Amino acid sequence: MNNELKKKLKELGMKKIQQLFGETVFASEIHEFAKLFMEDESVFTHLHDAYRHQLDSLELTSQDIDLFYRKEEGLHTISYLDKSFSLDDASYVSFLTYAIDLMREVLPLGTVVELDPRYFKPGESASEPIKVVITSRFIFAKSYRSYFPYAGVVYPFGELNKGNTIHFTSPLIQKVVYMGYQDEMEASFEYLMKEELIVDKGITSIEFSDEDMKKIQNQSSQGQVSDHAIV
Protein backbone atom coordinates (compact mmCIF):
# COMPACT_ATOMS: atom_id res chain seq x y z
CA MET A 1 0.00 0.00 0.00
CA ASN A 2 1.48 3.36 -1.02
CA ASN A 3 1.82 6.18 1.48
CA GLU A 4 -0.70 8.44 -0.27
CA LEU A 5 -3.40 5.78 -0.14
CA LYS A 6 -2.60 4.99 3.47
CA LYS A 7 -2.96 8.68 4.34
CA LYS A 8 -6.36 8.88 2.61
CA LEU A 9 -7.58 5.70 4.32
CA LYS A 10 -6.51 7.12 7.67
CA GLU A 11 -8.69 10.17 6.93
CA LEU A 12 -11.60 7.80 6.24
CA GLY A 13 -10.84 6.14 9.55
CA MET A 14 -11.09 9.43 11.40
CA LYS A 15 -14.41 10.11 9.66
CA LYS A 16 -15.70 6.69 10.73
CA ILE A 17 -14.64 7.33 14.31
CA GLN A 18 -16.60 10.57 14.26
CA GLN A 19 -19.64 8.61 13.06
CA LEU A 20 -19.23 6.04 15.82
CA PHE A 21 -18.47 8.26 18.80
CA GLY A 22 -19.52 11.80 17.92
CA GLU A 23 -19.20 13.94 21.04
CA THR A 24 -19.12 11.12 23.61
CA VAL A 25 -16.95 11.36 26.71
CA PHE A 26 -13.92 9.59 25.25
CA ALA A 27 -14.26 10.83 21.65
CA SER A 28 -11.21 13.11 21.81
CA GLU A 29 -9.06 10.38 23.39
CA ILE A 30 -10.11 7.90 20.70
CA HIS A 31 -9.33 10.42 17.96
CA GLU A 32 -5.90 11.02 19.44
CA PHE A 33 -5.23 7.29 19.69
CA ALA A 34 -6.28 6.80 16.06
CA LYS A 35 -4.10 9.68 14.85
CA LEU A 36 -1.09 8.00 16.43
CA PHE A 37 -1.72 4.35 15.58
CA MET A 38 -4.26 4.07 12.74
CA GLU A 39 -1.57 3.44 10.13
CA ASP A 40 -0.21 0.51 12.15
CA GLU A 41 -2.90 -2.06 11.38
CA SER A 42 -1.12 -4.66 13.52
CA VAL A 43 -2.09 -2.74 16.68
CA PHE A 44 -5.79 -3.17 15.93
CA THR A 45 -5.33 -6.76 14.76
CA HIS A 46 -3.56 -7.74 18.00
CA LEU A 47 -6.21 -6.01 20.09
CA HIS A 48 -8.98 -7.77 18.17
CA ASP A 49 -7.23 -11.15 18.57
CA ALA A 50 -7.02 -10.52 22.32
CA TYR A 51 -10.74 -9.77 22.38
CA ARG A 52 -11.58 -12.83 20.28
CA HIS A 53 -9.52 -15.09 22.56
CA GLN A 54 -11.04 -13.45 25.66
CA LEU A 55 -7.73 -12.28 27.07
CA ASP A 56 -7.94 -10.05 30.13
CA SER A 57 -4.83 -8.04 29.26
CA LEU A 58 -2.27 -7.41 26.55
CA GLU A 59 0.88 -5.32 26.11
CA LEU A 60 1.94 -3.92 22.74
CA THR A 61 4.57 -1.57 21.36
CA SER A 62 4.16 0.66 18.32
CA GLN A 63 6.41 3.53 17.28
CA ASP A 64 8.39 2.94 20.49
CA ILE A 65 5.23 3.65 22.51
CA ASP A 66 3.97 1.05 24.97
CA LEU A 67 0.26 0.26 24.90
CA PHE A 68 -1.65 -1.63 27.57
CA TYR A 69 -5.04 -3.30 27.19
CA ARG A 70 -7.18 -4.68 29.97
CA LYS A 71 -10.71 -5.98 30.25
CA GLU A 72 -12.47 -5.35 33.52
CA GLU A 73 -16.14 -5.33 34.53
CA GLY A 74 -17.37 -5.39 30.95
CA LEU A 75 -15.20 -2.48 29.81
CA HIS A 76 -12.21 -2.53 27.48
CA THR A 77 -9.51 -0.04 28.48
CA ILE A 78 -6.52 1.02 26.38
CA SER A 79 -3.71 3.00 28.04
CA TYR A 80 -0.65 4.60 26.47
CA LEU A 81 1.71 7.38 27.56
CA ASP A 82 -0.39 9.22 30.17
CA LYS A 83 -3.69 8.70 28.40
CA SER A 84 -6.47 6.08 28.48
CA PHE A 85 -10.02 5.44 27.37
CA SER A 86 -12.61 2.74 28.04
CA LEU A 87 -15.33 1.38 25.77
CA ASP A 88 -18.18 -1.05 26.21
CA ASP A 89 -18.16 -4.31 24.29
CA ALA A 90 -20.11 -3.21 21.20
CA SER A 91 -18.28 0.10 20.78
CA TYR A 92 -14.89 -1.52 21.27
CA VAL A 93 -15.49 -4.21 18.64
CA SER A 94 -16.86 -1.69 16.14
CA PHE A 95 -13.83 0.56 16.65
CA LEU A 96 -11.37 -2.28 16.03
CA THR A 97 -13.12 -3.96 13.12
CA TYR A 98 -13.70 -0.77 11.13
CA ALA A 99 -10.07 0.26 11.65
CA ILE A 100 -8.78 -3.14 10.49
CA ASP A 101 -11.06 -3.21 7.47
CA LEU A 102 -10.07 0.29 6.40
CA MET A 103 -6.31 -0.02 6.84
CA ARG A 104 -5.78 -3.64 5.76
CA GLU A 105 -4.03 -4.06 2.41
CA VAL A 106 -6.23 -5.20 -0.48
CA LEU A 107 -4.49 -7.51 -2.95
CA PRO A 108 -4.97 -6.64 -6.65
CA LEU A 109 -6.70 -8.71 -9.30
CA GLY A 110 -4.56 -11.50 -10.72
CA THR A 111 -2.73 -12.09 -7.44
CA VAL A 112 -2.04 -15.75 -6.72
CA VAL A 113 -2.36 -16.74 -3.05
CA GLU A 114 -2.07 -19.92 -1.03
CA LEU A 115 -5.08 -20.60 1.18
CA ASP A 116 -5.06 -22.51 4.43
CA PRO A 117 -6.20 -26.02 3.36
CA ARG A 118 -8.03 -26.61 6.65
CA TYR A 119 -10.77 -24.21 5.62
CA PHE A 120 -10.75 -24.66 1.88
CA LYS A 121 -13.96 -26.66 1.60
CA PRO A 122 -16.50 -27.50 4.30
CA GLY A 123 -16.28 -31.10 5.43
CA GLU A 124 -13.01 -31.76 3.60
CA SER A 125 -9.34 -31.31 4.37
CA ALA A 126 -6.14 -31.16 2.38
CA SER A 127 -2.50 -31.50 3.30
CA GLU A 128 -1.13 -28.85 0.94
CA PRO A 129 -2.06 -25.17 0.57
CA ILE A 130 -4.52 -24.40 -2.22
CA LYS A 131 -3.44 -21.86 -4.83
CA VAL A 132 -6.16 -19.42 -5.88
CA VAL A 133 -6.09 -16.58 -8.43
CA ILE A 134 -7.98 -13.52 -7.18
CA THR A 135 -10.65 -12.55 -9.72
CA SER A 136 -12.89 -10.24 -7.68
CA ARG A 137 -12.87 -8.11 -4.52
CA PHE A 138 -15.48 -6.55 -2.21
CA ILE A 139 -18.24 -9.02 -3.06
CA PHE A 140 -21.53 -8.12 -1.40
CA ALA A 141 -23.51 -11.34 -1.82
CA LYS A 142 -27.29 -11.56 -1.51
CA SER A 143 -28.68 -12.68 1.85
CA TYR A 144 -25.54 -11.47 3.69
CA ARG A 145 -25.12 -8.23 5.63
CA SER A 146 -21.34 -8.18 5.22
CA TYR A 147 -18.97 -8.49 2.27
CA PHE A 148 -16.43 -11.05 1.11
CA PRO A 149 -13.02 -9.39 0.61
CA TYR A 150 -12.02 -11.82 -2.16
CA ALA A 151 -13.24 -14.34 -4.68
CA GLY A 152 -11.09 -16.39 -7.00
CA VAL A 153 -10.55 -19.57 -8.98
CA VAL A 154 -8.31 -22.52 -8.23
CA TYR A 155 -4.93 -22.45 -9.96
CA PRO A 156 -4.23 -23.77 -12.58
CA PHE A 157 -7.75 -24.98 -13.43
CA GLY A 158 -9.63 -21.67 -13.47
CA GLU A 159 -13.43 -21.57 -13.53
CA LEU A 160 -14.29 -25.05 -14.74
CA ASN A 161 -18.00 -24.55 -14.07
CA LYS A 162 -19.91 -21.27 -14.16
CA GLY A 163 -20.14 -19.72 -10.71
CA ASN A 164 -17.61 -22.19 -9.26
CA THR A 165 -15.54 -19.63 -7.39
CA ILE A 166 -13.96 -19.55 -3.95
CA HIS A 167 -15.00 -16.71 -1.62
CA PHE A 168 -12.52 -16.06 1.17
CA THR A 169 -11.25 -13.60 3.76
CA SER A 170 -7.79 -12.18 4.43
CA PRO A 171 -6.93 -14.43 7.43
CA LEU A 172 -7.32 -17.48 5.19
CA ILE A 173 -4.34 -16.37 3.08
CA GLN A 174 -1.15 -18.12 4.11
CA LYS A 175 1.15 -16.75 1.42
CA VAL A 176 1.17 -14.40 -1.57
CA VAL A 177 2.75 -16.38 -4.40
CA TYR A 178 2.44 -13.75 -7.12
CA MET A 179 1.32 -10.12 -6.91
CA GLY A 180 -1.09 -8.82 -9.56
CA TYR A 181 -0.83 -5.55 -11.43
CA GLN A 182 -1.28 -2.29 -9.51
CA ASP A 183 -1.51 1.35 -10.60
CA GLU A 184 -3.26 4.56 -9.55
CA MET A 185 -6.63 3.21 -10.71
CA GLU A 186 -6.22 0.27 -8.33
CA ALA A 187 -5.57 2.61 -5.41
CA SER A 188 -8.61 4.72 -6.35
CA PHE A 189 -10.79 1.62 -6.57
CA GLU A 190 -9.73 0.44 -3.11
CA TYR A 191 -10.38 3.87 -1.61
CA LEU A 192 -13.81 4.28 -3.20
CA MET A 193 -14.96 0.78 -2.25
CA LYS A 194 -13.89 1.22 1.36
CA GLU A 195 -15.51 4.63 1.52
CA GLU A 196 -18.81 3.27 0.16
CA LEU A 197 -19.01 -0.02 2.04
CA ILE A 198 -17.27 0.67 5.34
CA VAL A 199 -17.75 4.38 5.97
CA ASP A 200 -21.01 5.23 4.21
CA LYS A 201 -22.88 1.93 4.63
CA GLY A 202 -21.22 0.55 7.77
CA ILE A 203 -20.58 -2.85 6.21
CA THR A 204 -17.65 -4.99 7.41
CA SER A 205 -15.82 -8.02 6.12
CA ILE A 206 -17.72 -11.24 6.80
CA GLU A 207 -15.03 -12.42 9.24
CA PHE A 208 -16.29 -9.75 11.66
CA SER A 209 -20.00 -10.62 11.30
CA ASP A 210 -21.08 -13.26 13.81
CA GLU A 211 -24.52 -13.38 12.20
CA ASP A 212 -23.23 -14.12 8.70
CA MET A 213 -20.56 -16.53 9.94
CA LYS A 214 -23.25 -18.56 11.73
CA LYS A 215 -25.33 -18.53 8.57
CA ILE A 216 -22.38 -19.88 6.56
CA GLN A 217 -21.72 -22.59 9.16
CA ASN A 218 -25.38 -23.65 9.19
CA GLN A 219 -25.52 -23.80 5.41
CA SER A 220 -22.27 -25.76 5.32
CA SER A 221 -23.54 -28.33 7.81
CA GLN A 222 -26.61 -28.81 5.61
CA GLY A 223 -24.53 -29.18 2.46
CA GLN A 224 -25.86 -25.95 0.97
CA VAL A 225 -22.49 -24.21 0.59
CA SER A 226 -19.79 -25.79 -1.54
CA ASP A 227 -17.69 -22.92 -2.88
CA HIS A 228 -17.11 -20.70 0.14
CA ALA A 229 -13.94 -20.81 2.18
CA ILE A 230 -14.41 -18.75 5.32
CA VAL A 231 -12.26 -18.02 8.36
What is the per-residue pLDDT across 27-63, written as a single tens digit (0 to 9) for each?
899 999 999 999 999 999 999 999 999 999 999 999 9
Name the phi and psi angles at 203, rounded to 5.
-100, 135
| pLDDT tens digit sequence for 155-168 | 888 877 766 788 89
The pTM (predicted TM-score) of the whole model is 0.88
CA atoms within 13 A on the CB side of 147: 18
The whole-number pLDDT of residue 89 equals 94
